[in-house]
Structure 1
Amino acid sequence: MRQMKLLLIQGANMEYLGKRQPELYGTTTARQLDALIRRRARELGVSVEILYTNIEGEAVSAIYKADRARFDGLLFNPAGFLHAGYALRDCLRSIAMPAIEIHMTNIEKRGFGSITAAAAVGMIAGFGTDSYLLALEAMVARLRSAAV
């Protein structure tokens, strides 16, 4: 059986984790978060590619490329794209692989709604960096149960 391949898209401003608003997002840097995600992915027996982009069109292009390459699942933090990411939402509605939206903070508590959430199979929010690990585990469980 081939190893599952996942794509993680980190949206606008996420590359500045650990520097940007640590009172909201903590002090874990993007590099440290990537290492946590990759380590957990290895433990779960899956591979994950991680892309940071501040440009919605780059995120859309990367998702379509991954879909054509038959990646198994998409994890994404739309970050700043959640407010007006209609192109991203429409892209998510067009792909075969399931997508899980991730937020480090509880966006509802902060008064934000997500344009892209309607196109995801689920959303995990409010658990800091653990939101990513929970989303990774949820995606792997979903894909494995679908394969049975």
Structure 2
Amino acid sequence: MKFLLIQGANMEYLGTRQPELYGTTTAKELNSIVRRRARDLGIELEILYTNTEGEAVSAIYKGDRQGVDGVLFNPAGFLYAGHALRDCLRSIRAPAIEIHMTNIEKRGYSSITAEAVVGFIAGFGVDSYVLALEAMVSVLNSSSARSPS
């Protein structure tokens, strides 16, 4: 299985930006945690950090053309205005799971992209990413089990 993880605007500053909300785990440390779990699950994982919504859209379409099995993403700063990202997610073959480190609903935010995903994981800090990896494996295994051979 091959997954694409997109980290949206401001995520490259994890560990520095608002540690009271996002903790002190850096982007580099998060990458190591997520890559380690992906490896344990037999997943090939590509990670992209971008502050530009168009770059995220292009990466997702490229992944779709290359046959990526699942898309994981934290829209971060694209949360409330990511219409192009939402439309992109509606267009691809692979399922997508949205990830947030904080409980965005508790913070008064709603996600514009949530309607285009199979699932939404929020509020578990760094563990949100590990849970998303495991959830995507479950989604894909369930789909495979239902598909005729």
Do both proteins adopt the same fold according to a TM-score greater than 0.5, normalized to the shorter chain?
yes
SS in 2 for 1:9: strand
Partner of 2:105: 108
What is the TM-score when the length of structure 2 is the normalising length? 0.96
Aligned mates of 2:66, 2:141 — CA distance in 1: 19
The 5 Å alignment of 1:125-140 reads: 125-140=122-137
Partner of 2:60: 63
What is the TM-score when the length of structure 1 is the normalising length? 0.97
Partner of 1:117: 114
Deviations 1:84-137 (A, max 9, x none): 000000000000000000000000000000000010111000000000000000
Partner of 1:79: 76
Aligned mates of 1:115, 1:145 — CA distance in 2: 26
Unaligned runs of 5+ in 2: none
Aligned mates of 1:118, 1:90 — CA distance in 2: 10
Q: What letter matches 1:18 in structure 2?
A: G
Partner of 1:25: 22
SS in 2 for 1:115: coil
Shift of 1:141: 1.1
Moved over 6 A (4+): none
SS in 2 for 1:81: coil
Q: What letter matches 1:106 in structure 2?
A: N
Aligned mates of 2:33, 2:20 — CA distance in 1: 20
SS in 2 for 1:82: coil
Q: What letter matches 2:31 in structure 1?
A: D
Answering whether residue 7 of structure 2 is matched by residue 6 of structure 1, we say no
- Tell me the percent identity: 76
SS in 1 for 2:78: helix
SS in 2 for 1:101: strand
Answering whether residue 90 of structure 2 is matched by residue 93 of structure 1, we say yes
Answering whether residue 13 of structure 2 is matched by residue 51 of structure 1, we say no
Q: What letter matches 1:32 in structure 2?
A: E
Aligned mates of 1:142, 1:94 — CA distance in 2: 18
Number of paired residues?
A: 145
| RMSD of aligned Cα (Å) | 0.5
The 5 Å alignment of 1:133-148 reads: 133-148=130-145
Unaligned runs of 5+ in 1: none
